[in-house]
Chain A
Amino acid sequence: MTVIEQAGAYRPAPPPAWRPLCDPAPLLPEEEPHRLLGTGAELDEGLLVRLYEQVVLGRRFNEQATALTKQGRLAVYPSSAGQEAAQVGAALALGERDWLFPSYRDTLAAVARGLDPVAVLSLLRGDWHSGYDPKAARVAPLCTPLATQLPHAVGLAHAARLKGDDVVALAMVGDGGTSEGDFHEALNFASVWRAPVVFLVQNNGFAISVPLAKQSAAPSLAHKAVGYGLRGRLVDGNDAPAVLEVLTESVERAREGGGPTLVEAVTYRLEAHTNADDATRYRSGSEVSAWREHDPLALLERELGARGLLDGAGARVAADAEEAAERMASGLRERMREEPELDPAALFDHVFADGTAQLREQSAQLRAELAAAAEDGGTGDGSAEPLKDGGAREREGA
């Protein structure tokens, strides 16, 4: 007789230490992206107008920055055209003391948060790696290595909570970035620590040329939240009020101690990856056309139009928004036309709090070279021609 056959000797039971750590059901995202526009939902019309103005401004910003690239004023520009609703929503969902953690494509979110566009474009212009004071702006530097800023957001939010501040961090990443290890580690740390963080994935369909299907086999990117024990939300990323609603709710939930949320905003990158990319090599014109129909600006225009909120009957919403956008664009154009002030000697100033003997020596060498160049009639400002011609202007960059 075997052990199992002995009466009463064997009782099937789960492994002794095992128990589920949480119930997965409340963590699951929506079955379809959450939408408000065109659904007949009750919407604050003042908010609709404000979102419309911001999206018009954002679209114009993307166009102007792309034009500046063609004029050689920016080294590179990864456009967020088509993603303005998500960009604007991210900025508007945050309170004054909250922090935004943008990636290099999220310049518009930083501008919508109130930063000087010229300062935001520093990285892409190439005069410095970051052009604003992140502490004053409560916006982390635009991050180039994908997803690596996500753990920063978790650490900052956790530190704020340890210090007793009710600060929330909102971190932005793309669909491609969700494949990175740092995405996984950030979500895991955030969930274990119940850090007040919101992760916003802008699923714009492509990581440069690679489509989502080659990036992930998950039911949706929002579903990835469940495996970490945090809440997933799925939203139409081109529906500005829907994005703002989901993000605001997630931010406030985090602030109140409800833990982190992963929000997937389904959107589309209307332009190529950057000005240096050729999108016709990996996607069809008909695909792009379909998304143009579902463009965040078009969706808002339709809603406002249906509600009689655009122009006519004394309303000048569209015209006013266009004018404000044009003012922003011409101001940006003019300021970007001025050569940035460059100080080559400053290359050594912030490597360490205090320089090392070796850095002081190298700094002295560069100063001597500059002085000699100035004496020889050079500009002495370090804007060496070879870099302009063959370096910064041509590099693919972010």
Chain B
Amino acid sequence: MSTATSGASPAAAARQDAQRPYAGGESGSTGGVDAPGGEQRSAARSRKPATMAQALNRALHDALAEDPDVLVLGEDVGTLGGVFRVTDGLAAQFGAERCADTPLAEAGILGTAVGMAMYGMRPVVEMQFDAFAYPAFEQLVSHVARMRNRTRGALPMPITVRVPYGGGIGGVEHHSDSSEAYYMATPGLHVVTPATVEDAYGLLRESIASDDPVIFLEPKRLYWGRSADWSPERPAPVPGIGRAAVRRSGTSATLITYGPSVPVCLAAAEAAREDGLELEVVDLRSLVPFDEETVTASVRRTGRAVVVHESAGFAGPGAELAARVSERCFHYLEAPVLRVAGFDIPYPPPMLERHHLPDVERVLDAVARLQWESDWVPEDGTVGGGSTVGVAGRGRGGAR
């Protein structure tokens, strides 16, 4: 797998700025994939708010420092510090065996991590990019996800697999996949993804501490998002894996999202306010386990829901989420649960990716389609849909 084909263009960086990462007052770095390491050092000098990449680095550092059984494995994670600099400085501090550059073979990396876990280690594996993780799939599905069950608990797999994922950084082919649905569909895996600097630290610590395997999906385009509320000196803990966070409260509708789409939804909620809609934004943080309680409570209050994610819509995470919301909230819903997702196409080349990625407009369009008017009828007028709308109405007040 190549390590060098992912340099982001200035145009991509500008688009990334336009995505306005949630966490920071400032937007992300204008540097490419290879830039953030240097930036980290200058950030320390200028005391800029910390980036997500720095928070992840700190989490790895603290885990390595606290537990001698933790070790980091991956391609270029040692001397280079990772192509995203998330492992920057770890090999220098903890040695080349605890932050190890491995041969370039993802199945081998994860397969040897399985053996290490069998011997009581707690490996943290880095897959360099989302689409480079696929060779490790057999190890993941056939062993990592099953070993505890196969051995009735005798061989737990406390392995964290870090996967930079998602688009929006101008990466060429194979550098922008959203692969979460594959992992979610594999029983035995936890699937976690942070959207904030705080969560990046806290959730990674929780994942490494977990006795179960965790696929830790890092939204690439939020790596350089900053948070003034977090600093390496005061790393905040998070509630354990499996708890969603309500990022913004609202009464009109719920946007259910995670990872790179969280900032998009927050921006959409801000824009919707101008139209008099108060959108609630639920950041799932963990796709498996799924926090049904938080999501159900929110949708029952608002009566309307849109699921937003980058990965393809068909049989994507939103299909499962929408089905569950429908099962749990049917009598509270005033409109079908809608999905805003990536198109069902192979990930586009960087100059076209903005047409693919869910953006504020697409989210607002979906919100607008949530049957706000009681006399709503489909555009072709074939179904007299208006008659039932607005009758249930018990879930929320203030429908227009």
Contacts and interface: CB of A to CB of B under 8 A. Distances in A.
Interface of A: 128-130, 133-136, 140-141, 145, 148, 150-160, 162-163, 167, 169, 181-182, 185-186, 188-189, 192, 346, 349-353, 356-358
A170 to B, nearest CB: 13
B187 A351 contact: yes
Given A185-B107, A353-B211, A358 B292 contact: yes
A195 to B, nearest CB: 9
A189 B112 contact: yes
Contacts of A162: 71, 97, 121
Interface string B70-112: 0100000000000000000000000001000011010110111
A113 B113 CA distance: 25
Given A152-B118, A358-B290, A134 B155 contact: yes
A181 B107 contact: yes
By CB atoms of chain A within 10 A, which of B107, B119, B142 has the most? B119
B288 A189 contact: no
B103 A148 contact: no
Contact of B105 (A140, A155, A189, A350): A189
Given A145-B138, A156-B115, A189-B108, 14 more contacts: A148-B111, A151-B110, A152-B112, A152-B143, A158-B115, A158-B116, A159-B116, A167-B119, A192-B103, A350-B151, A352-B148, A353-B211, A353-B212, A358-B289
B144 to A, nearest CB: 10
A349 B149 CA distance: 8
B289 A185 contact: no
Contacts of B119: 155-156, 159-160, 163, 167
Given A140-B118, A358-B290, A151 B212 contact: no
A72 B19 CA distance: 62
A157 B113 CA distance: 11
Contacts of A130: 150-152
Contact of A349 (B116, B152, B212): B152
B346 interface: no
B290 A158 contact: no
20 contacts: A128-B152, A134-B154, A135-B155, A141-B155, A152-B111, A152-B118, A152-B143, A155-B113, A156-B118, A160-B119, A162-B71, A167-B119, A186-B111, A188-B103, A350-B152, A351-B149, A351-B188, A352-B188, A357-B290, A358-B289
A346 B149 CA distance: 10
A385 B175 CA distance: 49
Given A152-B143, A163-B119, A356 B105 contact: no
B337 interface: no
A136 B153 CA distance: 13
Contact of B148 (A150, A350, A358): A350
Contact of A356 (B115, B142, B147, B289): B289
Given A182-B111, A350-B148, A351-B187, A148 B143 contact: yes
Contacts of A153: 115
Contacts of B292: 357-358
B114 A152 contact: yes
Nearest to B147: A141
Interface residues of B, number: 47
A393 to B, nearest CB: 21
A18 B142 CA distance: 39
Contacts of A353: 148, 156, 210-212
B395 interface: no
Contacts of B114: 151-152, 155
Contact of A151 (B112, B211, B289, B290): B112
Contact of A155 (B118, B187, B290): B118
B212 A185 contact: no
Among B116, B135, B153, B293, the one with the most A-chain Cβ atoms within 10 Å of its Cβ is B116
Interface string B270-309: 0000000000000000001110110000000000000000
A352 B115 contact: no
Contact of B154 (A135, A151, A182, A352): A135
A129 B150 contact: yes
B190 interface: yes
A189 B151 contact: no
Contacts of A158: 112, 115-116
A101 B200 CA distance: 37
Contacts of A141: 147, 150-151, 155
A136 B155 CA distance: 11
Contacts of A352: 148, 188, 190, 212
A159 B115 contact: yes
B242 interface: yes
A128 B149 CA distance: 9
Contacts of B227: none
Contacts of A169: 115
B139 interface: yes
Given A148-B142, A351-B188, A352-B148, A182 B115 contact: no
